[in-house]
């Protein structure tokens, strides 16, 4: 059934069904398969971004990080379900952390949403550090795309991004004050966006990307290269 035949207006019913699915055990995922072979499949077009699992002490981190995920996936050539609407509907059902969805079989998301893949992320760092007259802000996350057709992990990445917030003042007191001010004012979102850019740079292009190469086109390129080599 075409993706567009599943209206977003039915998402509330979908989420209610998903809450029931939380009682089910997740199927174990095997090692990541050949990524390019999977992304050439006609069933790898849409992504549902799940709320991040939070392994940090920063309560606001998941919401901030979540807002940074849809754009790079869209730019990579995939249809991304409206993230904020999905997050709000899940939150209305008491699902506020991606860890609450870890026991759900990924294939349930295709049955309920029509999504071909789900993006699961885990925040492992969202920290500020002070080192005498130096300081830093660090964000780190784990990413994986899981096929809702097979339950397999088709792509994964781990990324970390840091910025030095140390002061340049020549006096010790001035450096301490400048470091504290720089660290307090540091915006995490640009760091998260850069971290996402680096992580998704290894993701094969989706079918809506202008440089996407289909399996047939790839085979033709290989044949031409072999013919030229003869």
**What is the CATH classification number for the domain harbouring 172?**
3.40.50.10610
In a domain, 77, yes or no: yes
Q: Quick one: pLDDT at residue 120?
A: 96
Q: Let me know if residue 229 belongs to a domain.
A: no
- Cα-Cα-Cα-Cα torsion 196, 197, 198, 202, nearest 10 degrees, comes to 100
Q: What are phi and psi of 123, to 5 degrees?
A: -85, 125
Q: Which residue has the higher pLDDT, 71 or 179?
A: 71
Would residue 223 count as lying in a domain?
A: no
Strands (E), the chain: 46-49, 53-54, 79-80, 117-131, 134-147, 153-164
The whole domain housing 114 covers 22-205
Does 9 fall in a domain? no
**Is 1 domain-assigned?**
no
Tell me the pLDDT tens digit for each residue of 50-86.
999 999 998 888 998 999 999 999 999 999 999 888 8
Q: What are phi and psi of 105, to 5 degrees?
A: -60, 125
Q: Is the pLDDT of residue 167 over 90?
A: no
Residue 133 forms part of a structural domain: yes
**Is residue 214, in this structure, part of any structural domain at all?**
no
Q: Is the pLDDT of residue 131 over 70?
A: no
Position 217 in a domain: no
- Gap between the Cα atoms of 139 and 160, Å rounded: 6
Domain total for the chain? 1
Tell me if residue 12 falls in helix, strand or coil. Answer: helix
């Amino acid at each position: 059934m075409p993706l567009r035949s599943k209206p977003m207006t039915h998402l509330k019913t979908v989420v209610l069904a998903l809450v029931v699915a939380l009682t089910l055990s997740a199927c174990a995922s095997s090692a990541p398969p050949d990524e390019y072979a999977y992304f050439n499949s006609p069933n790898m077009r849409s992504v549902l971004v799940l709320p991040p699992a939070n392994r940090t002490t920063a309560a606001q981190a998941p919401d901030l990080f979540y807002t940074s995920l849809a754009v790079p996936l869209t730019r990579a050539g995939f249809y991304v379900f409206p993230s904020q609407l999905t997050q709000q509907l899940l939150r209305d059902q008491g699902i506020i952390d991606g860890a609450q969805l870890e026991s759900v079989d990924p294939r349930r998301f295709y049955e309920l949403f029509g999504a071909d893949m789900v993006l699961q992320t885990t925040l492992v760092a969202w920290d500020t550090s002070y080192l005498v007259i130096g300081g830093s802000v660090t964000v780190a996350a784990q990413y994986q795309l899981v096929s809702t057709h097979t339950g397999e992990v088709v792509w994964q990445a781990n990324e970390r991004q840091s910025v030095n917030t140390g002061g340049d003042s020549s006096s010790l007191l001035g450096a301490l004050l400048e470091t504290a001010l720089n660290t307090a004012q540091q915006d995490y979102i640009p760091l998260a966006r850069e971290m996402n850019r680096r992580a998704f740079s290894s993701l094969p292009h989706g079918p809506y990307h202008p440089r996407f190469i289909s399996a047939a086109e790839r085979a033709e390129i290989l044949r031409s290269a072999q013919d030229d080599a003869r």
